[in-house]
């Protein structure tokens, strides 16, 4: 007999079948474009961010352009997404620091990234995993919801605790993949309000089955 598959392995395998090509859906070419897109994506959809960055990146051609931009112009450029005033302020300050202290290159360490305005642990994790392919698990609302529903973590765990537990459950080689697959699963299948429970391949582990 072969080795018995664990709960976490079963979940990863089945979710992978649903979303084998899950990946970052933010559009970017340069390192600063990715970081900006991630910063703008807080509390809004990737679709909305991509609409904004299409014109934003055509207007500002370098991190220096963002550092030198007028804050009122930036606010107008991104006003269609949530929290645009605060995001504009952080975006400009971030760009100024990157230009002055990092030779216009987005840093590639967790510590340096989290020192930038508007960049928290989740944003840093997403950037490091996507741009530098450094193994990370970024915990957003989708990853949190899916992990809790499937009993991989506790209902009262915060994002940092969820990240720690998932890292212990899964091998480092699948951290980035897991992050993307759980996001897709939560975004398109195990939705917050209308999860597709009837067709869910991992519902036997769900702690909140549909009535």
Q: Which residues are designated catalytic? A: 122, 140
Instruction: Return d(Cα 114, Cα 119) in angstroms, integer.
Output: 5
Residue 69 CB neighbour total at 10 angstroms: 18
Is the CA virtual torsion 39, 45, 47, 49 positive or negative? negative
**42, 87 contact by CB (below 8 A):** yes
Contact 73, 59 (CB under 8 A): no
* Cα Rg of the chain, angstroms: 19
d(C-alpha 19, C-alpha 92), whole Å: 36
């Amino acid at each position: 007999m072969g080795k018995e598959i664990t709960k976490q392995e079963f979940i990863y395998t089945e979710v992978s079948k649903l979303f084998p090509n899950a990946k970052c859906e933010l559009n970017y070419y340069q390192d600063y474009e990715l970081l900006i897109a991630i910063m703008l994506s807080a509390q809004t959809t990737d679709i909305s961010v991509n609409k904004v960055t299409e014109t934003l990146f055509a207007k500002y051609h370098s991190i220096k352009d963002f550092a030198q931009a007028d804050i009122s112009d930036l606010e107008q450029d991104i006003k269609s997404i949530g929290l645009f005033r605060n995001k504009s302020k952080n975006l400009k300050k971030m760009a100024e620091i990157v230009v002055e202290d990092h030779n216009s290159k987005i840093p590639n360490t967790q510590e340096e990234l989290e020192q930038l305005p508007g960049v928290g642990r989740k944003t840093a994790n997403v950037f490091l995993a996507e741009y530098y392919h450094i193994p990370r698990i970024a915990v957003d609302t989708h990853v949190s919801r899916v992990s809790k529903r499937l009993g991989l973590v506790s209902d009262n765990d915060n994002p940092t605790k969820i990240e720690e537990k998932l890292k212990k459950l899964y091998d480092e080689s699948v951290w980035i993949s897991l992050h993307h697959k759980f996001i897709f699963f939560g975004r398109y299948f195990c939705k917050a309000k209308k999860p597709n429970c009837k067709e869910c391949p991992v519902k036997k582990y769900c702690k909140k089955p549909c009535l």
